A = this chain, B = another copy of it.
């Protein structure tokens, strides 16, 4: 017989662990977290040189915990004494938090199928089968590189595959993309003595929108400035959307939608972002918006599968893009409140008000919330 839980959380990353910690604080222990590899798996697979773009600082206690904290009384800045953690460091932080809250996590349990039954879901992993009344998808995006529209993309290398700049053979590289990962990769290559061109449809470098989900993070801009001071400016070709890659002998040819073509001795490096993993693995449980994000109710529930919720960077409501930890951690509580209401489970009001005091309880989705006059 398969083991049954009230709630199954899929993924033990920042979102899944954060959600589990809050359930645990409510003493609502009838849940399981299923993780395909180990805690913080995506972070462990980050390139060596990648760092958090959100700076950690122990603001805890004054209404807004450390930007990268997933529980109010924790702080990666406190744990590591630094602002911009590596993926490995953040995975260590997540493990520490999971241990402190004694979370029930099944590692090495890859979910292969989620099937709807009248009042519950069947969740098959490569190890065993579970059932649960509620499923919270916290699978993130990192494992699913966005490269769908580029023909011949098997000839390219994606940002997430480049563990180390030194692995790359060649001197001159073409980076495809104009946002965080593209600028990160290009500046790292450049500062390591390589020649780089950037080809992109548009770039956050030109943005004047204050929301860092659209604009670039300050640290990325700083790295960009530093790289460009280092030698000469890195060329950025906007209005260049890559359409087609082919290869003849040792030469890669890139064709853009504007008709232009370039050739290169090195494969193009795609820093074109990521897509929600649920779109690859659990597409039957969701409708998707044209931008690839799941269509969700105001409660972050799937519009086509009741009692299935999404938490993490893929959640977007109109202009509210929750692709940062300090944003999506504010939705742990609303989802739990929705489930608790349906289950008539009493939630400790002290915990609720503690999360509210720490700006981790975003109940209203203000349609236009990031403004800066100066």
Is A372 interfacial (CB-CB < 8 Å)? yes
Q: How far is the CA of A93 from the CA of B212 in the complex (A)?
A: 19
Asked, given contacts A58-B210, A78-B210, whether A64 binds B359 with beta carbons under 8 Å apart, the answer is: yes
Is A156 interfacial (CB-CB < 8 Å)? no
Contact string, A71-89, partner B, CB cutoff 8 A, digits 1/0?
1011101111111000000
B-side contacts of A80, CB under 8 Å: 218
**At the interface, is chain A mostly helix, strand, loop or mixed?**
loop
Select which of B54, B57, B63, B67 is within 8 A of A212 by beta carbon: B57
Q: How far is the CA of A374 from the CA of B374 in the complex (A)?
A: 35
- B77 and A218 contacting across the interface, CB-CB below 8 Å: yes
Chain A: residues with Cβ within 8 Å of the partner, total of 50
Asked, given contacts A57-B54, A63-B63, whether A73 binds B359 with beta carbons under 8 Å apart, the answer is: no
> Of residues 206 to 240 in A, which have CB atoms within 8 Å of B's CB atoms?
210-212, 215-219, 221-222, 225
Is A327 interfacial (CB-CB < 8 Å)? yes
> Of residues 93 to 114 in A, which have CB atoms within 8 Å of B's CB atoms?
93, 96-97, 100
- A374 and B81 contacting across the interface, CB-CB below 8 Å: no
- B372 and A62 contacting across the interface, CB-CB below 8 Å: no
- B330 and A75 contacting across the interface, CB-CB below 8 Å: no
Tallying the copies of this chain within the complex gives 2
B-side contacts of A73, CB under 8 Å: 371-373
Is A152 interfacial (CB-CB < 8 Å)? no
Q: How far is the CA of A216 from the CA of B81 in the complex (A)?
A: 9
- A58 and B374 contacting across the interface, CB-CB below 8 Å: no
A206 to chain B, nearest CB (A): 12
- A81 and B212 contacting across the interface, CB-CB below 8 Å: no
Residue of A212, A216, A374 contacting most chain B CB atoms (<10 Å): A374
Q: How far is the CA of A111 from the CA of B82 in the complex (A)?
A: 41
- A100 and B373 contacting across the interface, CB-CB below 8 Å: yes
Q: How far is the CA of A97 from the CA of B372 in the complex (A)?
A: 11
Asked, given contacts A57-B67, A59-B67, whether A75 binds B372 with beta carbons under 8 Å apart, the answer is: yes
Q: How far is the CA of A64 from the CA of B330 in the complex (A)?
A: 12
Select which of B62, B74, B83, B210 is within 8 A of A55 by beta carbon: B83
Contact string, A45-69, partner B, CB cutoff 8 A, digits 1/0?
0000000001111111111100100
Select which of B63, B210, B359, B371 is within 8 A of A330 by beta carbon: B63
A119 to chain B, nearest CB (A): 36
Is A362 interfacial (CB-CB < 8 Å)? yes
B-side contacts of A215, CB under 8 Å: 58
21 A–B contacts from the bound complex (CB under 8 Å) = A54-B57, A55-B55, A57-B212, A57-B217, A58-B211, A58-B215, A58-B372, A59-B326, A61-B371, A62-B327, A62-B362, A64-B326, A64-B359, A71-B373, A73-B372, A79-B374, A81-B216, A81-B225, A83-B219, A97-B374, A359-B359
Q: Sorted from nearest, which 8 A-B pairs have the closest CB atoms?
A: A63-B359, A64-B64, A55-B55, A61-B370, A61-B369, A81-B221, A96-B374, A78-B372
Beyond A62-B330, A63-B330, A97-B373: 8 further Cβ-contacts under 8 Å?
A: A58-B211, A58-B370, A59-B67, A64-B64, A71-B373, A73-B371, A75-B210, A81-B216
